[in-house]
Structure 1
């Protein structure tokens, strides 16, 4: 009976430690993921801003290039 009580005591103590470290690791992974997500969104927004500013260049047909004049 004493051995059984000791076994139960150890078993109850172990999962708490494992769960705590597992929970800490999970929280850290979530925190790291959130940091990476924010960095990605920041880079994406910056790229979109750059692409949008580049997009202000007129379309080719707006230049209205006279090819006959270029050949002469």
Structure 2
């Protein structure tokens, strides 16, 4: 099965680890995940700046998606 992340991005559900809702204020854990992914150059923002609604954690990448997880 495949999951549409928005903006023409699709991933295999086999690679999916978690879909996390992004709502201010961000938790420290969520900030840590984003910062670590940035440092490892694994963060892909497929949203327009400020329009991120979900963090999708996969086995090899982390995506910021414009599609709400709720």
TM superposition score normalised by structure 1: 0.21
Whose RCO is larger (CA < 8 A, sep 6+)? 2
Which has the greater radius of gyration? 1
In terms of fraction of residues, the more helix-rich structure is 1
In terms of fraction of residues, the more strand-rich structure is 2
TM superposition score normalised by structure 2: 0.22
